[in-house]
Amino acid sequence: SGKKNRTNEVQYYSFEIYEQLSKRVEMERDLRDAIKEKSFSLHYQPQIDLASQKIVGVEALIRWQHHAWGNIPPSEFIPLAEETGLITPITEWVLKTAFHDLQSWVKNGIKPIRMAVNISAILFHEDLVSFLKRILDETNMNPAYVELEITESVMQNPRMTIPILKQLRSLGVRLSIDDFGTGYSSLACLRDLPIDCLKIDRSFIEDIERDQGIIVKTIIDMASHLNVDVIAEGIEKQQQLQFLSTLSCKEGQGYLFSRPLPSKEISTFLFKPLISSPV
Ligand code: C2E
Ligand code: MG
Ligand code: MG
Ligand code: MG
């Protein structure tokens, strides 16, 4: 019977691989159609100036409502989009939709705020500059309100990346390093990067209780020496907010203030001038 079990295990195992592969093929096919079938949407999460408690920006986060599988998180389909090259049309859709939404909020009377969009490291080649310029032109978007969130992995090749970052910045957009502290960037290289802001990764905010915030403190100190802004990601607790406010952490983002919300809901949120109580 041991032999039989082994056989069953092998069959089960290969069936799983088959299922994974066929799901991947299916997902890739559906990802290809997702833009024209309108199954993507954007949610927006507010970014708060901690001193004034005002919303100074939002981060656009993509959502994919699959007809059969329901909501698929970006952590599952963005890697596939990167492997297949679909990340380019998807990013174009994200940028255009985000800019359009911001413009419509402003038309409805909201004071302009920053729009932060995530840009995959894989898009970091020469074409990125003309790609972004074309989209800014086509949408008639003021670059002063645009922020690109890039990950530390772009620092793997600083000789290629730095000139691109400089060109992007000369278009007038802001640049921030997402998930800061989780990558393997060299600090020496960070000093030379033309960036505006470090986004302290959520894991360090979570650790504040355990490590007395030593990592967060160090990052904020370093950012101030480098003359770049900081935003803390993933603030969930009042104690974390209080701690960050005692340091000179400029901005924050997290469930304590608001989860990412659809455009309609965020625009009502934006009409409230102050956040009096955490949502
Ligand atoms: P990210 O850019 O670091 O975004 C922050 C993630 O943390 C988001 O997850 C957000 O919903 C979540 N988050 C925000 N506040 C809190 C909090 O207080 N607690 C917890 N536990 N989580 C919080 P989401 O939306 O699932 O996105 C995951 C990642 O997928 C993003 O990480 C980003 O790397 C990527 N992503 C999302 N949208 C896009 C996109 O349009 N383009 C690209 N290239 N990547 C995207
Ligand atoms: Mg981000
Ligand atoms: Mg992040
Ligand atoms: Mg992340």
Ligand 4 centroid to residue 147 C-alpha, Å: 16
Helix (H, G, I), strand (E, B) or coil at 82: helix
pLDDT of residue 122: 94
Sign of the dihedral defined by the CA atoms of residues 269, 270, 275, 276, in that order = negative
Residue scoring higher pLDDT (15 or 259): 259
Average pLDDT over residues 143-158: 92
pLDDT at 217: 97
**Candidate of 43, 44, 61 to mutate for ligand 1, largest count of ligand atoms within 8 Å of Cβ:** 61
Q: State yes or no: ipTM above 0.95.
A: yes
Q: What percentage of residues in the chain have a pLDDT greater than 90?
A: 76
Whether the pLDDT of residue 8 is over 90: the answer is: no
Ligand 1 atom closest to 75 (CA): 30
Report how far residue 180's alpha carbon sits from residue 21's, in angstroms, rounded to the nearest whole number: 33
DSSP class of residue 115 equals: E
Q: 231: Cβ below 6 Å to ligand 1?
A: no
- The answer to whether 240 and 210 are in contact (CB under 8 A) is no
**pLDDT tens digit string along 161-208?**
999 999 999 999 999 999 999 887 677 788 889 999 999 999 999 999
Q: Ligand 2 mean position to 193 CA, how many Å?
A: 18
Give the residue, by CA position, lying nearest to ligand 1 atom 19: 234
Please tell me the number of Cα atoms within 13 Å of 234 on its side-chain side.
14
CB 255 within 8 Å of CB 48: no
pLDDT of residue 12: 63
Name residue 71's beta-bridge partners: 65
In this predicted model, what pLDDT tens digit does every residue of 12-29 receive, in sequence order? 667 777 778 888 889 999
Output the pTM of the full model.
Answer: 0.92
Report whether pLDDT(7) > 70.
Answer: no
Spatial distance between the Cα atoms of 131 and 90, rounded to a whole number of angstroms? 13
Residue 109 has pLDDT above 50, yes or no: yes
pLDDT range class, residue 5, cuts 50, 70, 90: low
User: 44 phi and psi, to 5 degrees?
Assistant: -125, 130
Dist. CA 77–CA 30, nearest whole Å:
11
Full DSSP string of 145-214: GEEEEEEGGGGGSHHHHHHHHHHHHHTT-EEEEEEETSS---HHHHHH---SEEEE-HHHHHTHHHHTTH
For ligand 1, atom 41, the nearest C-alpha belongs to 62
CA distance 51 to 244: 10
- The Cα–Cα gap between 185 and 228 comes to 16
Instruction: State the Cα–Cα distance between residues 127 and 121, nearest whole angstrom.
Output: 13
Q: How far apart are CA 227 and CA 223, in angstroms?
A: 6
pLDDT at 275 over 50: no
What 3 state SS string does 78-97 have?
HHHHHHHCCHHHHHHHHHHH
Check residue 2 and give its pLDDT.
42
CB neighbours of residue 258 within 10 Å: 21
Q: Reply yes or no on whether the pLDDT at 277 is more than 50.
A: no
Alpha-carbon distance 238 to 235, whole Å?
A: 8
